[in-house]
Structure 1
Amino acid sequence: MAVAANLRLGFFLLVLPQLFSAGLAVEPLSVGLAIGIASALTGYLSHPRFYCSLMECCRQEEPLNVTALQLDLQNKLFGQHLVKEVILRAMTRFMSNQNPKKPLTLSLHGWSGTGKNFISKIISENIYKEGLNSKYVHLFVSTIHFQHDNQLSLYKDQLQAWIRGNVSACARSVFIFDEMDKLHPGLIDAIKPFLDYYEQVDGVSYRNAIFIFLSNAGGDLITQVALDFWKSGKKREDMQLKDLETILSVGVFNNKNSGLWHSSLIDKNLIDYFVPFLPLEYRHVKMCIAAELQARKYEADPEIIARIAEEMTYFPKAEKIYSDKGCKTVAAKLDLHIEL
């Protein structure tokens, strides 16, 4: 930042003698004033706060706006009381810690359409205003970036180099791994040294980075626990993390299609939180539809909301409690019901 500003001042001082040699009349007072202005401007432009208001900067030391995150979770995420609780607590504690012992590692599990990608977006936007488009937020999709099983060794080397390079540039880097259940078993273990309790690895500290894993694996286990709660007459909101976390971690560890099958990340307790996303009920689907309407600047018409919600498919077949696609097809359904 200071380098760019000093270059501007240097250019000004370089051009100034040429004005004299060209025979232009320049008052001494004007020259002094111009140099003074240029010096002041250099200092102003090089100030981090001003620079970062124009350009995106690494948020290595800036605190988290806890109120903003809390409002986003409350107003944008539906039917996931456990997720709200865990994410708020985890992010608040981690980003307020000036000397964390390890990177924050979150493993998000649940059926498609329950909000895993959405929560990654919320987390990213509460760290960097550009969100998922930030140069400090890095998204890996297994079916795009790690397609070929016969290139596993190459992928491991590339993944390590990519993480090392980006954390070297910005300690508060965010790495999101989507579709973990389609990832080659063992690939994710390549980043174990970066998630462990090391002060540095080859001269680089990874302790301020954030790693987020997204997977459909464990969705059936979560749904079964939720269904058992419903059958026993308990409220959904009475479900606690302890009712799911152990079942989920063991189930994912033993699931060959989880991306974390027999992973050392689980075996060495390097995943800080297993975050369960519950299946969404009819009332939550209606909330998703209303939010999508409002996002498109339409009135949240109860008739349209009910009509679209009824078109979604639910299970078990007799009770029709949970949406089998969550809110994933809400936007597509809405396109058929509103005039463009």
Structure 2
Amino acid sequence: MNIVIMQGQTLLAATCIVVACSVHSAVCANPFADFFEVIQLTADYAEICYDSVRTYFAETCHDRWIHNNLTGLSNHLNKKLFGQHLALDAVTNHIQRHIQSAEPARALVLSFHGSIGTGKSYVSRIVAEHLYRKGMESQFVHLISMASEFPLEEKVQDFKDQLRAYIESTIADCPRSLFIFDEMNKMPPGIIDTIRPYLESYNKLRGVNYRRAIYIFLSNTAGNGIAEYAYQHWWKGYPREDIKLADVREIIIRTAISTKNELWHGELMDRRLIEFIPFLPLEKSHVMKCVKDNMATSGHKVTDEKVESIVKAISFWPKSEQVFAVFGCK
């Protein structure tokens, strides 16, 4: 029995030496080194193997799962986002610059503004799908609905504390996190103050680097002003593509300041911590493209007759001209 045990120990030691030798060359030079040192080296190697396997099969905050497919993002937006030349260029450029910077100056904050159905949620989903392998299902993509998460103004302080703790713990786990705040126009006053410290140009805040995170705000604020501007532009006979980002951005800022809504905050605007991105109202031609794309994606046969019958059931404004869809592509 003792001979069998000794043979087993010898085999174990030999195995440990072979494995440890592949990790630490010093063991090869002296294979009769201290046995416990060999065991420690083998344990270290096993831990490395475990981490490698875990990273492969379980989502982690590494490049395998956060793949930052910028080419795919640009191509997808070009093919699938209809009538939004301002949003297409701005989203692509801002995300590309932020992702490609090894040390961004601050967190990226994109604020999408426009009427319902113009593509704000759609674009945020496309962004998530091309930055994270699991898309919106990724544990590093966080969708927060302001209407459902923070419904009572009298509990603002509690909400602030919850949101602060949530952001800090999330980014501590993965600095490359994406936060999507839906229905920002329903955010109770004061909540934005909680988010602000994580948007500014701190090297580190309480030992954590917050500058690699991305925030996307979705809001209907200034939707009517943007739609009116687009209508006046159309009525004067100007091409839609001539609308400039700077002109429509001013409409968003004026609306935010005049109403002192969820995004009104002097420092946020003065220091350009937020990039405001307008979504224009969709014309009938854009809605038709949306319908065709949705039918094709759903596996339905696309015919002009079917498309026209669907579009006829959609409401457009003004009633006399029937130019823009009331609910966009909804």
Q: Give the TM-score band, short-chain normalised.
A: 0.7 to 0.9
1:269 paired residue number: 272
TM-score (norm 1): 0.82
Question: Residues 78 and 284 of structure 1 are in contact (CA less than 8 Å); yes or no, is this contact kept in structure 2?
Answer: yes
Structure possessing the higher radius of gyration over alpha carbons: 2
The Cα offsets for residues 209-244 of structure 1, whole Å up to 9 and x where unpaired, read as 111110011101111111111011111112121121
2:300 paired residue number: 298
Whole-Å separation in 1 of the counterparts to 2:278 and 2:329: 16
The Cα offsets for residues 175-226 of structure 1, whole Å up to 9 and x where unpaired, read as 1110011111221121111111111111111110111110011101111111
One-letter identity of the residue aligned with 1:147: P
Do the aligned partners of residues 250 and 56 (structure 1) sit closer, same or farther apart at CA in structure 2, a change above 3 Å counting?
A: same
Whole-Å separation in 1 of the counterparts to 2:201 and 2:17: 51
Match of 2:139 among 118, 127, 135: 135
Deviation at 1:28, TM superposition (A): 6.6
Whole-Å separation in 1 of the counterparts to 2:255 and 2:55: 44
One-letter identity of the residue aligned with 1:231: W
The Cα offsets for residues 232-267 of structure 1, whole Å up to 9 and x where unpaired, read as 1111112121121122122123224x4213464234
TM-score (norm 2): 0.84
Q: Aligned runs of 1:242-261 on 2, under 5 Å?
A: 242-256=246-260, 258-261=261-264
Percent of residue pairs bearing the same amino acid type? 36
Tell me how many residue pairs correspond in the alignment.
304
Whole-Å separation in 1 of the counterparts to 2:19 and 2:289: 56
Whole-Å separation in 2 of the counterparts to 1:213 and 1:228: 27
| Ranges of 4+ aligned residues in structure 1 off by more than 6 Å | 25-31, 37-41, 60-63
1:189 paired residue number: 193
Q: Which runs of 5+ in 1 are unaligned?
A: 1-19, 329-340
Question: Residues 82 and 240 of structure 1 are in contact (CA less than 8 Å); yes or no, is this contact kept in structure 2?
Answer: yes
Q: Aligned runs of 1:21-32 on 2, under 5 Å?
A: 32=14
Do the aligned partners of residues 267 and 156 (structure 1) sit closer, same or farther apart at CA in structure 2, a change above 3 Å counting?
A: farther
1:213 paired residue number: 217
**What SS is found at the alignment partner of 1:138?**
strand
User: 78-87 vs 258-267, which deviates more?
Assistant: 258-267
Question: Residues 79 and 280 of structure 1 are in contact (CA less than 8 Å); yes or no, is this contact kept in structure 2?
Answer: yes
Deviation at 1:153, TM superposition (A): 0.5
Q: Aligned runs of 1:201-240 on 2, under 5 Å?
A: 201-240=205-244
Whole-Å separation in 2 of the counterparts to 1:60 and 1:253: 40
1:284 paired residue number: 286
Question: Residues 64 and 92 of structure 1 are in contact (CA less than 8 Å); yes or no, is this contact kept in structure 2?
Answer: no
> Is 1:310 matched up with 2:312?
yes
